[in-house]
């Protein structure tokens, strides 16, 4: 399960500079920012859009928020 590693990563990432990590867990995408975790099913465009929008608010350049589905 990706929940515990995701929480640890969310606590470890630097809030400044727009750092994030993304990975797949089965059929889900998990996108981890400092203090925030998004998990959504592959193909869920609303879940993807929510993670991308959040990433932009914390300073991640749009071109870096282009993970594949």
Outline where the chain has alpha helix (H): 3-12, 45-57
Average pLDDT, the chain: 87
Number of domains in the chain: 1
Within-domain flag for 33? yes
Going by pLDDT thresholds of 50, 70 and 90, the confidence category of residue 2 is low
Within-domain flag for 69? no
Residues near 21 by beta carbon (within 8 Å), at least 6 away in sequence? 9, 13, 31, 32
Within-domain flag for 12? yes
The Cα–Cα gap between 8 and 27 comes to 21
Residues near 34 by beta carbon (within 8 Å), at least 6 away in sequence? 10, 13, 14, 15, 19, 58
Q: What is the pTM of this model?
A: 0.82
Could you read off the pLDDT of 16-40 as tens digits, one per residue? Answer: 777 898 999 999 999 999 889 999 9
In terms of residue numbers, what domain contains 41?
A: 3-64
């Amino acid at each position: 399960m990706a929940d515990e590693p995701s929480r640890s990563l969310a606590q470890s990432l630097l809030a400044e500079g727009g750092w994030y990590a993304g990975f797949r867990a089965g059929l889900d995408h998990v996108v981890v920012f400092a203090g925030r975790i998004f998990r959504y099913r592959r193909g869920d465009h609303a879940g993807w859009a929510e993670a991308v929008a959040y990433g932009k608010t914390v300073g991640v350049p749009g071109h870096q928020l282009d993970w594949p589905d």
